[in-house]
Amino acid sequence: MDRMIAISSLLQHVQVGLVEDGRLVEYYLERDVQDRLMNNIYKGRVENVLPGMDAAFVDIGLAKNAFLFLADLSPERAANLRKGDAVLVQVAKEAEGTKGPRVTTQITLPGRYLVLLPTQEGVGISRQITDEAERARLKELAQELLPEGMGLIVRTMAQNQELEELQEELERLIQEWSRIQRRFQGKSSAYLLYRDHDLIYRIVRDLYSPHHTKILVDSRALQRRVAKELQDLGLDTSSVELYEGKLSLFTYLGLDKDLERARSPRVWLDCGGYLVINQTEALLTIDVNTGKFVGGKDLQNTVLTTNLEAAAEIARQLRLRNVGGIVVVDFVHMAQEADREQVLQRLRESLGADKTRTKICGFTRLGLLELVRRKVKRPLTEMLEVECPACRGTGRVDADETTALRIARAVQAAAQEEDVEAVLVRCHSAVAAQLIGPGGKNLELLEQEAGKAVFVRGDDTLAKGAFELTCGTAASLEQKALPVAVGDRLTVKISEPHAKNPGSGLARLHGYALECLDCSALVGQTVEVEIVEVYRTGALARPVENRN
């Protein structure tokens, strides 16, 4: 497998892409290491114990208290936990929205080859080490090194390493744990005892493999920094390459396009089929469709080919989007059990490269495949996006007609006031066109129902769902509503022939209709015109070259 780590730094932001066989499979972004809480270790004070939730809120010195499950504690400690008790905790999940971070008392200190579990016992071997003889060898080494009362996890990078390398790293981790314990004893209040390493160090430690991974960076400063981290870990620095092209590194490698596709609900497959991926509060749904793929042999083969390709792409998308929790996949219906098993096997193989554990629960009675993927870090969408203020997170906004109806109701309400002579509406031009209607028909009806004069002015600086109402005299508001005056010269685009006057063309200015004389043959062209007459919902104009 061709494997590359791309590291780019801009505006104090560091972004990292893990590329396998030319495709982006993992993405990391760090804006400010000071804002990152994950894996930090704190001395905390219990603020409140919630027996009904088997949990406690813990003050760790941040604006929001952290959330601790009592199941993380021993039964005796959990039963006796009281407000004011000091606890040693590590952040297991970043703060989200109004929620503070989630913490655990089950501390982990990762190295390149080992993870030290100072508060737990036992030995675990990475599931990505599949060779049984190597697993047995590493387990024997870990048990030989195992500190009393502690636990160890042997990481994937430990493959083919000897006892001396593992022992050297374990000694460093134990020293770090001793420093944390001393700080815990020396502090009387909530305090940060240990800050996790920054992104560049973690990437080099966790992802770099000297045998089949190269590192590409876009600045000399990054090149020096990465080389130093490799050197400190006792690794060869020759694999770090500097990119000096004109395009940004991620654009040059095509990773920007991969990121855009990973934020889209629709993902096309090479065969012509596609996935539709939708995230809800409860779970992630993935629908598989044959799309443009018609196959060549028979329907069964077409379906199987689509589903096999979809299985591999689903594994990649889960990894790239960093989705955690329940996932439900609706593959194209397969009548044969052998076909379903083939698709499951492809999915298992494709998930094998993902360090984050995913459990395949199998097909339901309705033929839906259930998966559960562990939540480790923030999803891609949370790293790069915020909730849309226009759609309020639904992914949909009001149609122009819906907004126009909402404005009409607001106008009617404003017109109820006795001292209101007229109402001016300022809204997006597309909404203004709906509010005015063909030939001003809708505006005429609105005035009849409101019993007051109503003026409309289009303004494309407003969002489509936004509008402003101004009440006042008809004379003052009419002047504000009209975007043009007699004698004004404008350059406009003729959008369509006039419906009633065959020789005229129609142009629009922020929703305001301009009838342009002698322009019916100029649809799609840009014309300079002069305003000759002005009305409430439109104006008459003539081309400048024909003004005499």
User: How does pLDDT run across 43-75, given as a tens digit for each residue?
Assistant: 999 999 998 899 999 999 988 999 999 999 988
What H or E segment, with its residue span, contains residue 470?
strand 467-472
Nearest to 280 by CA among 331, 347, 328: 328
Please give the single-letter amino acid code of residue 284. Answer: L
The predicted pLDDT at position 189 comes to 83
Which residues lie closer than 8 Å to 362 by C-beta, 6 or more apart? Answer: 344, 369, 370
Q: What angle do CA 485, 440, 473 make, to 5 degrees?
A: 60
**Distance (Å, rounded) from C-alpha 221 to C-alpha 10?**
12
Residue pointed to by tokens 């009001």? 398
**The two structure tokens encoding residue 540:** 């008459």
DSSP state of 382: H
Residue pointed to by tokens 């894996």? 39
Which residues lie closer than 8 Å to 450 by C-beta, 6 or more apart? Answer: 411, 412, 415, 423
pLDDT band at 548; cut points 50, 70, 90: very low
**Distance (Å, rounded) from C-alpha 355 to C-alpha 376?**
10
| Percent of the chain surpassing pLDDT 90 | 69
List beta partners, residue 456.
425
DSSP state of 286: E
Q: Residues 481, 488: contact at Cβ < 8 Å?
A: no
The predicted pLDDT at position 317 comes to 96
Cα dihedral value 28, 103, 67, 189, nearest 10: -120
What H or E segment, with its residue span, contains residue 42?
strand 41-50
**The two structure tokens encoding residue 45:** 């004070």
The predicted pLDDT at position 455 comes to 93
**The two structure tokens encoding residue 340:** 């379903």
Please give the single-letter amino acid code of residue 427. Answer: C
Please give the single-letter amino acid code of residue 513. Answer: A
The predicted pLDDT at position 33 comes to 64
* Sequence-distant contacts of 374-379: CB under 8 A, at least 24 apart: 374/324, 375/93, 375/324, 375/325, 376/322, 376/324, 377/38, 377/94, 377/322, 378/94, 378/322, 379/279, 379/321, 379/322, 379/323, 379/324
| Highest mean pLDDT of the ranges 71-85, 316-330, 380-394 | 316-330
Indicate if the pLDDT at residue 453 is higher than 80.
Answer: yes
Higher pLDDT, 347 or 538: 347
pLDDT band at 224; cut points 50, 70, 90: very high
DSSP state of 439: G
DSSP state string for 85-128 = -EEEEEEEE--BTTB--EEESS--EE-SSEEEETTS-EEEE-TT
**Distance (Å, rounded) from C-alpha 191 to C-alpha 188?**
8
Q: Residues 137, 150: contact at Cβ < 8 Å?
A: no
SS3 395: coil
The predicted pLDDT at position 446 comes to 94
The predicted pLDDT at position 34 comes to 64
**Distance (Å, rounded) from C-alpha 53 to C-alpha 227?**
48
Mode of pairing for the β-strands spanning 274-279 and 86-93: unpaired
Indicate if the pLDDT at residue 509 is higher than 80.
Answer: yes
Nearest to 275 by CA among 283, 264, 341: 264
The predicted pLDDT at position 546 comes to 53
Q: Residues 152, 145: contact at Cβ < 8 Å?
A: yes
**Distance (Å, rounded) from C-alpha 312 to C-alpha 347?**
6
Nearest to 268 by CA among 308, 305, 307, 313: 313
**Is the dihedral angle over the CA atoms 511, 515, 521, 525 positive or is it negative?**
negative
Number of alpha helices (DSSP H) and beta strands (DSSP E) in the chain: 14, 30
Which residues lie closer than 8 Å to 400 by C-beta, 6 or more apart? Answer: 428, 430, 431, 433, 434, 464
Indicate if the pLDDT at residue 527 is higher than 90.
Answer: yes
The predicted pLDDT at position 168 comes to 94
Q: Residues 297, 253: contact at Cβ < 8 Å?
A: no
Q: Residues 474, 499: contact at Cβ < 8 Å?
A: no
Nearest to 52 by CA among 70, 72, 65: 70
Indicate if the pLDDT at residue 11 is higher than 80.
Answer: no
Indicate if the pLDDT at residue 341 is higher than 80.
Answer: yes
Q: What CA–CA distances, in Å, run from 181 to 91, 92, 135, 172?
A: 17, 19, 32, 14
pLDDT averaged over the chain? Answer: 91
Of the listed ranges 29-43, 100-114, 413-427, the least confidently predicted one is 29-43
Average pLDDT score over residue span 126-150:
93
User: How does pLDDT run across 260-284, given as a tens digit for each residue?
Assistant: 999 999 999 999 999 999 998 889 9
User: How does pLDDT run across 472-481, given as a tens digit for each residue?
Assistant: 999 889 878 8
SS3 542: strand
Nearest to 5 by CA among 262, 308, 230: 230
Detail the DSSP E strand segments found in 377-440.
Answer: 422-427
**The two structure tokens encoding residue 433:** 């066109």
The predicted pLDDT at position 98 comes to 78
